[in-house]
Structure 1
Amino acid sequence: MSELTLAATPNAVAWARRHTVDILQRWRFPTEGIEVARLVISELATNAIQHAEPTGKSVPTAAGSTGVGTIALRLWPTDDGIILAVSDPDPRPPAPRAHDASASGGRGLVLIQAMANRWGYSPTQPHPGKIVWAEIPARPNSALGEPGFGERQAAPMLIGRVLTGLREL
């Protein structure tokens, strides 16, 4: 198992991606699974950062500086893949947004549903918050007709490549 706590700032997404790739390469996870995990952890971390401070504003500390929330990333291998989990202090459950083709965001959970074998959340104890997790297969199905993993006929590799390319623009 691997754990990493990050400040809930926009650059935490890049650190979460980097940590995930580094750990999965060290664990000799298949390359195609790493690419899917990279995209899924980006979505999980982005959502967690948005919910790290439920009011959406920074909280002043006693010293007068602005406090920053944290998120925690956890990875652990399963028999068939990897579980990626990110926790944040907001106890509200994740909820996919209604489809809006003109929206610039709000598709993260839809992507996670399409790319993961399964996903879910659980409340944290004893402090308020939640952990959102997704299980990624070691060898995801491909939109290119390559042999896949499991019975689903999804296109996570193609979706992942397109989204990764868009994010890198």
Structure 2
Amino acid sequence: MGLTVPHFAAERLVPAYDAPRRARRFTRRTLNSWGEKAGVCDIVAVASELVTNAVRHAFRSTPSDAATWLALSATPHSVLCSVTDPSTTPPELMAATPWAANGRGLHVIEALSDDWGYALLANGPGKIVWARVPSRAPLAGQVHPAHPRGVSTDGGRSSRARRSSAAADSMGPVAPW
């Protein structure tokens, strides 16, 4: 079951072992329907990591009927991937050792995105974790000048500032761009 409007799509995911696979499939299908050709692998990887983190960390102490939402929203220059979860614990970059089996998800997200952060949900417990991934080619129906991967339209890298709950109150739950 999903919700789709032009350049916005959302999918409800049950936090199970196959949620990242379902997130990848939904993301690929959505990007294909938008005509996105470049950057698909990066966007799919970021969506998968966001969902993996939600399932692995945020759903440890929640009821089995809890769910998460993966939302994708496109602008001419990027695709925003957002995932909700019931935890209020902020995501944290961990130092991963070369032999560690996990702990690299946020590093992958940071490497592939222009910016990422989180906001506490205003209407109840939980948060939304989001990442803005550059779109290296215009989406269908959108025109913009080409720019190198990772370079914003003003010529500089994003500050990668993390959103606090105070910032979340001022920007709303899903408006990081």
Q: Same fold (TM over 0.5)?
A: yes
User: Residue 143 of structure 1 corresponds to which residue in structure 2?
Assistant: none
Partner secondary structure for residue 96 of structure 1: coil
Q: State whether residues 76 and 135 of structure 2, in contact with CA within 8 Å, keep that contact through their aligned partners in structure 1.
A: no
Distance in 2 (alpha carbons) for counterparts of 1:102 and 1:131: 30
How does 1:83-162 map onto structure 2 within 5 Å?
83-139=80-136, 148-151=148-151
Q: RMSD across aligned C-alpha pairs, in angstroms?
A: 1.9
The answer to whether structure 1 residue 25 and structure 2 residue 22 are counterparts is no
TM-score for both structures, normalised by structure 1 = 0.74
Distance in 2 (alpha carbons) for counterparts of 1:117 and 1:150: 6
TM-score for both structures, normalised by structure 2 = 0.71
Distance in 1 (alpha carbons) for counterparts of 2:100 and 2:106: 14
Partner secondary structure for residue 133 of structure 1: strand
The one of 49, 52, 60 aligned to 2:55: 49
Deviations 1:36-76 (A, max 9, x none): 11111110010011134243xx64xxxxxxx2421111010
Q: Which protein is richer in helix relative to its size?
A: 1
Distance in 2 (alpha carbons) for counterparts of 1:130 and 1:114: 22
Consecutive unaligned residues of structure 2, counting only runs of 5 or more, are 1-7, 138-146, 153-177
> Which of these two proteins has the greater Rg computed from alpha carbons?
1
The letter for the 1-side match of 2:42 is V
| Runs (4+) off by over 3 Å | none
The letter for the 2-side match of 1:122 is A
Distance in 2 (alpha carbons) for counterparts of 1:150 and 1:125: 31
Consecutive unaligned residues of structure 1, counting only runs of 5 or more, are 60-66, 141-146, 153-169
How many aligned positions are there? 136
Distance in 2 (alpha carbons) for counterparts of 1:94 and 1:69: 19
Partner secondary structure for residue 100 of structure 2: coil
